[in-house]
Amino acid sequence: MRIAMLAPISWRTPPRHYGPWEQVTSLLTEALVARGVDVTLFATLDSSTSGRLDGVCPAPYSEDPAIDAKVWEMLHVAHVFEQAEKFDLIHNQADFVPHAFSRLVATPVVTTIHGFSSDRIWPAYKRYEDRVHYVAISEADRHPDLRYAATIHHGIPLEDFPFDPQGGEDLLFFGRIHPDKGAAEAITAARRSGRKLVMAGIVQDQAYHDEHVAPAVDGRTVVYLGPVGGAARATTLGSARALLHLINFDEPFGLSVVEALACGTPVIARNRGSMRELIDDGVTGFLVDSLDAAVDAIARIDQIDRAACRAAVSARFTVERMADRYLGLYREILG
């Protein structure tokens, strides 16, 4: 089986710190290669894989201002489809642009939908639902008017997230500094609970950061680490008392939630989007609908067994499980 894995080019694959789409693309690619699948990863040329690396874009556009996103995305996608006959299947992880090329080739196309950034992109999915095999990353993120081939949750390599049976005393916010992710709400909840808050993530909305986050960061009650990747990611997630994920949007999945649980850290999350698929309320964390409920959950967080958090990820959200399900889908499509 010859697979063309089409990664986004916003970040390197795998990413240095932030880049969830690229991270999942890398994890799946490496797991498929380990199973003996012939995978060519189409990504930025500074990317890394145990399969074959191909591409035209020298660097990620989110890291190099000289890279024009629109121009290089078109060149990147065209480069894949111009050699489609070399592959049994193209797996697109790079949003909707590749759909416009899908009817120009005979090779089957699978698209993992990592979330709908806007209702305005809907026609680029609906128009091609008879040609492209869509995969949802959670039941919550399925659009009711779109045809899907499967729902496949993301998986993570457990060995990269060691279990911490004790954790620490501090609360953690881990994600984009953006209104969607509830950074300001995490600060308020931590302050009301009397616990220190550690924050990690890229600043995606500078005005929001400057108004709602920066004034609270004092290095004592609120500490901001910036983007955290590599081994420090697992250490940061595992050393927390709880992860606060008080989102203000319908989260399509939430990699940091699963990563925290793998380390044994329970999660207190706003009950929106995929959260009820990832968190067992009262067992691996708490699902809440208000700040008051979040503060109450913080006070009860020691009721959660950290070993149960780890066990839930081991049973449902491993990279092996994800790869097996995608491989099964490929075989079903190819007959």
Span 37-85, pLDDT tens digits: 999 999 999 999 999 999 999 999 999 999 999 999 999 999 999 999 9
Q: Which residue has the higher pLDDT, 267 or 115?
A: 267
Encode pLDDT of 213-239 as tens digits. 999 999 999 999 999 988 899 999 999
3-state SS class at 314: helix
What is the Cα–Cα distance from 26 to 15, expressed in whole angstroms?
A: 9
pLDDT at 230: 85
Structural tokens at position 149: 């081939």
pLDDT grade, residue 141 (50/70/90)? very high
Cα→Cα distances 117→123, 207, 243, 252, 301, Å: 13, 20, 24, 10, 33
* Structure confidence at residue 212 as a pLDDT band (50, 70, 90): very high
Question: For residues 209 and 203, is the Cβ–Cβ distance under 8 A?
Answer: yes
Round the average pLDDT of the chain to a whole number and report it.
97
Pure H helices in the chain: 20-34, 69-81, 122-126, 183-193, 206-208, 231-238, 255-263, 275-278, 291-299, 306-316, 319-334
The order of strands in the sheet holding 285-288 is: 222-224, 197-200, 171-174, 242-245, 267-270, 285-288
Confidence check: pLDDT of 117 > 90? no
Rounded Cα distance, 231 and 59, in Å? 23
Q: Examine the pLDDT at 257 and tell me if it is beyond 90.
A: yes
- Is there a contact between 55 and 47 (Cβ–Cβ < 8 Å)? yes
Q: pTM for this one?
A: 0.94
**Which strands form 109-113's sheet, in the order they lie side by side?**
52-54, 38-42, 2-6, 89-92, 109-113, 132-136, 150-151
